[in-house]
Amino acid sequence: MNREYHKWYSQRLHRDMELLIFGHAGAKVLAFPTRCGRFYEYENMGMIEALRHKIDGGQLQLYCVDSIDEE
């Protein structure tokens, strides 16, 4: 499974932001973490594994974004 990690500094937020992308093609889904969650939550809680057949099959591409709830 394609897994990409990205990190950049946000000038607006004055902090690093992180993102995980799963998949190589298919419908693009923007996945927000739960309250006070982080970008890796979908992977740690098993959601990526549950969707593996759609991600590997090129039907789905997940963009798991970070949050700033803790601030």
Q: Tens digit of pLDDT for each residue in 4-54?
A: 999 999 999 999 999 999 999 999 999 999 998 999 999 999 999 999 999
Question: pTM of the prediction?
Answer: 0.90
Residue with tokens 């057949």: 53
Mean pLDDT of 53-57: 97
Contact present, 11 and 46 (Cβ < 8 Å): no
pLDDT band at 71 (very low <50, low <70, confident <90, very high): confident
Distance CA 19, CA 67 (A): 10
